[in-house]
Structure 1
Amino acid sequence: MSTNNVESRVIKAPATDVWDVLRKQDFKFWTLVKSAQLSSSPSEVGGTRVTTFTDGTVQKHRLLEFSEINRSLTYEIIESDPAIHSLSAQHTLKVFPVSADDTSYVQWSSDFSSEGSLEAVMDSKYKKLEALADLAKALEK
């Protein structure tokens, strides 16, 4: 069984614009997110974010890595109500410029521990695809 998942999308916006949206970590672009509250600066490693989803799920995330240079961030879910199938995973968002046409390539990956179930991996896949589609809608003009 695969214990990682990688989804991606080309977005018709410059990488700087895409990164400006993602680096805030408020996920306002994603229709499944009702709100997100950060405990510190969005770039402070170790800082936490509480995300409330439209279905009532509340998750607490901790920022593990943040890079302005590489336009990337990595976080983990440290609490979830209701509980999810696998808390032990690292999720990374990266933005790459596509120089040929000034668009962006966005990659969202998750690496689950050995306890990661197929259900958790598939749920992650479909939520990423939806979030990336919402990001594209928010940025493409």
Structure 2
Amino acid sequence: MSSYNVESRVIKAPVTKVWDVLKKQDFSFWSLVKSVELSTSPSEVGSVRKTTFADGTIQKHRLLEFSEIKHQFTYEIIESEPAVTALSAQHTFKVIPVTADNTSFVQWSSDFSADGSLEVVMDAKYKKLDALEELAKALEN
């Protein structure tokens, strides 16, 4: 059995504007991210990005799925220094139009392996909530 976490937010911006920020996978809107280096195109399945976080953590992520049509992408952590406590995790971003008012529903989910503890899931929850708030502020200004 795995552990699952999903967080979401409505952002007062059209899907195209939100997707243009997220699809680059540079997380420039998020204060926890210091820098991102991409091995190739951010939309090329199999590409790897190296993310350096403000606390010094360095992770490599591999892109597993990318869809311009569905406005979503999925990635997994393949390396982390320091090591993460869950053996594996897949993370998915989705951007869905809210047609009533031309806003966007953004969902960020994580599916952790069975060793994903409550602590890991709760840490992911609060980091996602903060990141989505920062994304909203960046796009709504």
Superposition TM-score, scaled by structure 2 size: 0.97
DSSP 3-state at the match of 2:42? coil
The residue matched to 2:116 in structure 1 has which SS?
coil
1:57-94 deviations in Å (ceiling 9; x for gaps): 00000000000000000000011111111140110000
Q: 1:19 to 1:131 in 2, by over 3 A?
A: same
Name stretches of at least 5 consecutive residues in structure 2 with no aligned partner: none
- Give me the whole-angstrom Cα distance separating, in 2, the residues matched to 1:40 and 1:87: 26
Q: Which amino acid aligns with 1:112?
A: F
Structure 2 residue 49 is matched with structure 1 residue 52: no
Contact residue 39 and residue 47 of structure 1 kept, 8 A: yes
Contact 2:6/2:125 (8 A) holds in 1: yes
Indicate the residue corresponding to 2:13 in structure 1.
13
| Amino acid paired to 1:133 | E
CA distance in 2, matches of 1:34, 1:87: 24
Point out 4+ residue stretches in structure 1 off by more than 6 angstroms: none
Matched residue, 1:79? 79
Match of 1:86, SS state, is: coil
> Structure 1, residues 43-68: CA drift from partner, whole Å, max 9, x if none?
00000000000000000000000000
Query: How far apart, in 2, do the equivalents of 1:10 and 1:2 lie?
Result: 27
Q: Which residue of 1 aligns with 2:103?
A: 103
How many pairs does the alignment contain? Answer: 141
Task: Tell me how far 1:113 sits from its aligned partner.
Answer: 1.1
Counterpart Cα distance in 2 of 1:65 and 1:57: 24
Unpaired runs of at least 5, structure 1: none
* Equivalent position of 1:113 in the other structure: 113
Q: Percent same amino acid among aligned pairs?
A: 74
Shift of 1:118: 1.0
- What is the match of residue 33 of structure 1? 33
Amino acid at match of 2:129: L
* 2: CA distance, partners of 1:92 / 1:83: 21
